[in-house]
Structure 1
Amino acid sequence: MTLRLQNLTAGYGKLPIVRELDLEVASGSVLAILGPNGAGKTTLMSTLAGLLPALGGEVTVAGQRLPNGKPAKANRAGVVLVPDNRALFNSLTVSENLEIARVRNGPSLEEILDLLPALRSRWKVAAGSLSGGEQQMLAVGRALVQKPTALLIDEMSMGLAPVVVEALLPAVRHIADTTGAAVVLVEQHVRLALEIADEAIVLVHGEVTLRGSATELKASPERLRAAYLGGETGTAAD
């Protein structure tokens, strides 16, 4: 159930933002995509989800090549995006938001509550009345009822206090371990992301300036700093 990018170039019109990217994310693993604002992270996630057509290269899921710029087909192939704006139906309750997104043979709502137990007490509350952290959990739960093979989470911490992010991110690790989904996580909280990821890359101006295991990168703070400045650093194991 591997998500694989081969020579992927992404951008807008004819303008490339992400250039010739090669990545592989195995089933049950978490890849953290780090980098400064404007690095191309959201452009990459939108392209993986089919919302933007790729300018070059290909994306495959479990060996199946995804059609270019076809979000419905990408979704049917198991690619599910949690966007940075969450895109909830604010007037609908937690249960209604989940039920409306659930696919045939997808996990039951009870299974989602087992994965995200904090939603249980908010079951009949309108999404617009939830806290920011609860809304983010609901957005993730809505993705999970679609039975993702590849789960893309764009800026989980957007607008949230660090203490809330610290409580939320371990759920991503639990989801990967429990569901077997290949998880791609765009995150600004570097330390917290590396705590729950298996591997990570730093993306700057659309190019990878550092990649390696999360354990290696945590042990190389000076290389992380250099990578954020756009310096070529190779792999953390070099």
Structure 2
Amino acid sequence: MVDLMETRHGDKGSPRSTVLDCRGLAVGHGPTVVARDIELSLREGEVLALLGPNGAGKTTLLNTIAGILPRCAGEISLGGTALHNGRPAEANKRGIVLVPDDRALFTRLTVRENIQIARRKNGPQLEQMLDLFPALRNRLKVAAGALSGGEQQMLAMARALVQKPRALLIDEMSMGLAPVIVENLLPVVRRIADETHAVVVLVEQHVQLALEVADEAVVLVHGSVRLRGPADELARNRERIEAAYLSSDEFV
């Protein structure tokens, strides 16, 4: 099996260091704050499932971490270095890579061209992406706009990985996809974290599937963290998640 990265971010036998740290984070649009008091700390190779109902602020949070939206308050650091507010190019250069829910592909370019144009120096090679997403192997000369939804999501992930992310932010991987495709794609997230030591923040509506690949989970409701804990523990106590979604205090 081909490793995703020629040079990994760390040694599996060594203590894992904190990669992404968010302290006292408040996010929103202009003067309107939609989520506040967000505290996140992710170490190498950790996957965080960011859950919650529509309108909870999940996408806004990802866009803020990526620098696309300026934060209203708080600090974001990557590898111990503070990031300037609202500077997406800096965040991306430092290693924060966002896969947005619309996938942001160059629809008129081929699969091969989409990957090549995104690849950073010393980033994973095309063959490594085809090992990870074999369905793309026979689609290299096809325009991205002509791909199926599942193939487009694979391509969006490949484009992100060739940028050598230290923190990979994935917004609604399952958007518009059949459940069987989601079941095949989500385990790839676990492999990415394990093999590259990047941290992954995964916004996902397929709660149970997300919990199966995540280490930790946070439920965001009405702009605040309603519930957090180990993913496997929450997977065994679905009633706590359901109560959090309903903003009930009965089980939280």
TM-score clears 0.5: yes
- The Cα of 1:90 is off from its aligned counterpart by 0.9
Q: 1:21-41 CA deviation, whole Å, 9 max, x = no partner?
A: 001111111100000000000
1:192 aligns with: 209
Taking the aligned partners of 2:249 and 2:54, their CA distance within structure 1 comes to 18
- The Cα of 1:233 is off from its aligned counterpart by 7.5
Q: Quick check: 1:43 aligned with 2:60? A: yes
Is the 1:173–1:196 Cα contact (8 Å) retained in structure 2? Answer: yes
Is the 2:97–2:168 Cα contact (8 Å) retained in structure 1? Answer: yes
Structure 1 residues 105 and 15: CA distance shift in structure 2, 3 A: same
Taking the aligned partners of 2:248 and 2:61, their CA distance within structure 1 comes to 21
In structure 2, stretches of 5+ residues that fail to align are 1-17
2:36 aligns with: 19
Is the 1:49–1:74 Cα contact (8 Å) retained in structure 2? Answer: yes
Q: Quick check: 1:56 aligned with 2:73? A: yes
Supply the AA of the counterpart residue of 1:67.
H
Residues paired across the two proteins, number: 235
Supply the AA of the counterpart residue of 1:215.
D
Partner-residue secondary structure (3-state), 1:84: coil
Taking the aligned partners of 1:133 and 1:24, their CA distance within structure 2 comes to 31
Using structure 2 for the length normalisation, give the TM-score.
0.90
Is the 1:34–1:186 Cα contact (8 Å) retained in structure 2? Answer: yes
Is the 1:210–1:233 Cα contact (8 Å) retained in structure 2? Answer: no
Using structure 1 for the length normalisation, give the TM-score.
0.96
Is the 2:20–2:167 Cα contact (8 Å) retained in structure 1? Answer: yes
Within 5 Å, give how 1:28-107 maps onto structure 2. Answer: 28-107=45-124
Taking the aligned partners of 1:102 and 1:78, their CA distance within structure 2 comes to 13
Is the 1:5–1:23 Cα contact (8 Å) retained in structure 2? Answer: yes
Is the 2:64–2:70 Cα contact (8 Å) retained in structure 1? Answer: yes
From 223, 229, 238, the equivalent of 1:206 is: 223
Taking the aligned partners of 2:81 and 2:123, their CA distance within structure 1 comes to 20
In structure 1, stretches of 5+ residues that fail to align are none
